[in-house]
């Protein structure tokens, strides 16, 4: 699956819980088709076995990594933004 494509930019943009559920639905639907199963729960289990985590978890992890890199950046814009926030 192309998880990086689905998650691109979500670490820097605010995402609502409804949007996260919508993204997760896309991933589960793809899993259902890839594994040829009808039940969403079965597709979720198969995806977990292949290392595909829940979208909310992936976005939270990526956002944390983005904020850490942002805080450590020596860019003038990053320094000004970190002072203001």
pLDDT single digits (tens) 8-24: 777 777 889 999 999 89
Q: Dihedral sign, CA of 39, 32, 29, 64? A: positive
Output the pTM of the full model.
0.69
3-class SS of residue 81: helix
Structural domain for 45, as ranges: 3-84
CA distances from 58 to 23, 24, 47, 51, 61 (A): 11, 10, 13, 11, 5
pLDDT tens digits for range 28-80:
999 999 999 999 999 999 999 998 888 888 888 888 888 788 777 777 776 66
Number of domains in the chain: 1
């Amino acid at each position: 699956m192309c998880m990086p494509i689905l998650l691109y930019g979500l670490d820097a943009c605010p995402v609502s819980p409804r949007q996260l559920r919508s993204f997760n639905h896309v991933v589960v639907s793809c899993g259902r088709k890839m594994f040829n199963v009808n039940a969403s729960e079965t597709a979720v289990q198969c995806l977990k076995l292949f290392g595909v985590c829940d979208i909310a978890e992936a976005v939270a992890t990526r956002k944390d990594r983005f904020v850490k890199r942002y805080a450590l950046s020596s860019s003038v814009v990053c320094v000004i933004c970190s002072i203001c926030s």
